[in-house]
Structure 1
Amino acid sequence: MKDKQANTDSLVDNKNEQVKNILFFGNSLTAGYGLEDPGSESFPALIQVKLDSLGLGYKAVNAGLSGETTAGGKGRIGSLLKNKMDIFVLELGANDGLRGVPVSQTEENLQSIIDTVKLRYPEAKLVLLGMQVPPDMGGKYARDFNAVFPRIAAKNDMLLVPSLLNKVAGIPHLNLRDGVHPTANGQKILAENVWDELKTIL
């Protein structure tokens, strides 16, 4: 699957135009951790089905990596910008929140990732997938963390999905036994959450 995605810059659509790439850059939520077939059940894969059904010339590239933090993403992003990219979808921060990483550090890392993308592809459209942490992480920490995503989106003129896990987080039958990662049905809802916003810029 990854090898196939790595060559998307050579694909052409039915109008003989180069396929436009959408890079989904995230952690296990994007990678489809725990799914039987992440290549078809993760939310980027489900969005690809929507793109194809509408005859849109886009290729969804899944660059999710389980366990990824914003610090890890900051170090990894450069290697993923070799292929042409038209839309950048950023889904990172949840692991920072679960580990109690200082909010200022998370925000700094997210901004660094975005700056790297802007420098390489200034014309690319940017999308940020909002994350939230539960109140049991501490009321102030949760409030500060949750506020990072709308602030980053506004600062960088990014399209914002307010909460990627909307209608999924905390619902047992939509999550695996770990209570954190969505099931295949949960991923379908994630795909809808993203698609509702993403479709406005395609």
Structure 2
Amino acid sequence: MTGRSAPAVLPPSLRAWLGLIAALATLMVVVLGVLYAGHSRPGMVDAWIQPAVEGVRPPWRHVALAMDFLGEPAGAATLVGAAVTGCLLLRRPRAAVLLVAGVGMTVGAATLLKSVVGRTIHDGHLSYPSGHTAFLTALALVVALVATGRLGLGRRAGTLLVLAVALVAGATMGWAQVALGAHYPTDVLGGWCTALAVIPATAWLVDRTADRLADRMADAGRREHR
């Protein structure tokens, strides 16, 4: 099924709330980016959290490395491929498009922000925001949106599910990045917020584009039958 009969990837009941959350997340990304632009040292919040997390030993270090692999090109491609396949099997073509476009735009935005902000860690590696955290959070957000639509959840339950899934994904990957010394905690927060800002906007754009395309196809079909 295509067109307006295809399920929306951004449930109407969640549009207002997720729009507000996306706006607040965008503000947070900007504020943190300005605050830490050009820095190469941990901030006050980082100095408080980092010592309690960084430098984990086996077996937790192995867990952190496994999580880190999921954000690397090979691991990320595997996750996205599996998720896209699942969406197609569930007959959710818009969700499949959102997975590729949304995750790609989120990672792209994180990569661009790193160059713009210029915050570094360990031998000059750009660190803000965390691309790994942004990636896994974005993927989790899309999966949560699909689940919300299939379960027919209302505004409150749907919003709670989406935020809970995003929080678990972001916190898990964020912990791994800080534990391995790859990012400051505020880099992780910036990556999480980047996904929260990009995915709702991309989902809205996917729905709007698909609906317009369906309208044009329907109009063309009607003209052919005249």
* TM-score, normalized by the shorter chain, greater than 0.5: no
Hey, which of these two has a bigger chunk of helix by percent?
Answer: 2
User: Bigger relative contact order, structure 1 or 2, given CA contacts below 8 A and separation 6+?
Assistant: 2
Hey, which of these two has a bigger chunk of strand by percent?
Answer: 1
With the length of structure 2 as denominator, give the TM-score of the two structures.
Answer: 0.28
With the length of structure 1 as denominator, give the TM-score of the two structures.
Answer: 0.31
